[in-house]
Structure 1
Amino acid sequence: MRTIHITSQDELPDVARAVIRSLGRRTVVAFRGGMGAGKTTLIREIVAALGSADTVTSPTFAIVNQYKAGKERIHHFDFYRIDDQREAYDFGYEEYFYSGDLCLVEWPEKIEQLLPENTMNVRITADSDTARTFEID
């Protein structure tokens, strides 16, 4: 596990690069942290670091947004609004998670049992208004 502490949002590109370097062959990343911890903000940095010019927004209502980085597709999920993991079956989560495309997942706690075994976890702790601790494993 790697732990990174930042005191400014200006340091987020470094965290994004660390997440990308830590992926290895994994394609599903679960972002864990409370409301306002910075999950979407970090995902925005990761998508940009991968070369996408797409606008990254939280897919709270759509559940999934798709971005392009060159020829690669990136799927950004937000499961905050689902009440039952069966809802993930309704939109075909398996097609995304097992596609080989990068899948960035907010609120993975809502679908914990559906996550692939080799899911990477990024835990975000808000230490203050501007400081964050990231645990990458």
Structure 2
Amino acid sequence: MEITTENLSELNTVAFQILKKADKRKIILFKGVMGAGKTTLIKEICYQLGVEENVSSPTFAIINAYQGSEGEVFHFDAYRIESEEEAFDIGVEEYLFSGNWCLIEWPEKIKSFFPMSSDVLEVEIELEMDKRTYKFD
């Protein structure tokens, strides 16, 4: 599926469609250049999952945990992870296999930890001027 938006007011539709497409796949990988809008989209997804607290980028914490209406939601920002060993020490595997939602920015940094591709939904965000295109299947 591909959705192109021109303003933030359309983000709720994108988030809804991603969650609908994810279905039982609770690991969602967000790919895109710096500034593409990964964190902003994840905030909207968190709100749709029932998170009531302020959702912010976990750039320095690496993982933020939130309580959603159906369980915990983990928001990863793997940008600063330097090695697989560091990811292992943080406990990435435990989060990924917890059965809770895992929303991951910069997934290429920890790709060896992901389960089979059929259990994961990838979202690619392309930025062109004021338009963003979201691709996922």
What TM bracket, shorter-length normalisation?
A: over 0.9
Specify every segment of 5 or more residues in structure 1 that has no aligned partner in the other structure, as ranges. Answer: none
Task: State the match for 2:33 in structure 1.
Answer: 34
- Superposed CA RMSD in Å reads 0.9
Task: State the match for 2:123 in structure 1.
Answer: 122
Does the 8 Å CA contact 2:50/2:70 hold for their aligned counterparts?
Answer: no
Specify every segment of 5 or more residues in structure 2 that has no aligned partner in the other structure, as ranges. Answer: none
Moved over 2 A (4+): none
Q: Deviations over 1:9-66 (max 9, x none)?
A: 1100000000110112111100000000000000000011112111111101111001
Structure 1 SS opposite 2:81: coil
Separation in structure 1 between the aligned mates of residue 70 and residue 108 of structure 2, nearest angstrom: 30
Structure 1 SS opposite 2:29: strand
Q: Name the aligned partner's letter for residue 127 of structure 2.
A: A
Normalising by structure 2, we get a TM-score of 0.95
Cα gap change, 1:71/1:27 in structure 2, threshold over 3 Å: closer, same or farther? Answer: closer
Judging by fraction of residues, say which structure has more helix.
Answer: 2
Separation in structure 2 between the aligned mates of residue 71 and residue 123 of structure 1, nearest angstrom: 26
Alpha-carbon deviation of 1:83?
1.1
Task: State the match for 1:108 in structure 2.
Answer: 107
Normalising by structure 1, we get a TM-score of 0.95
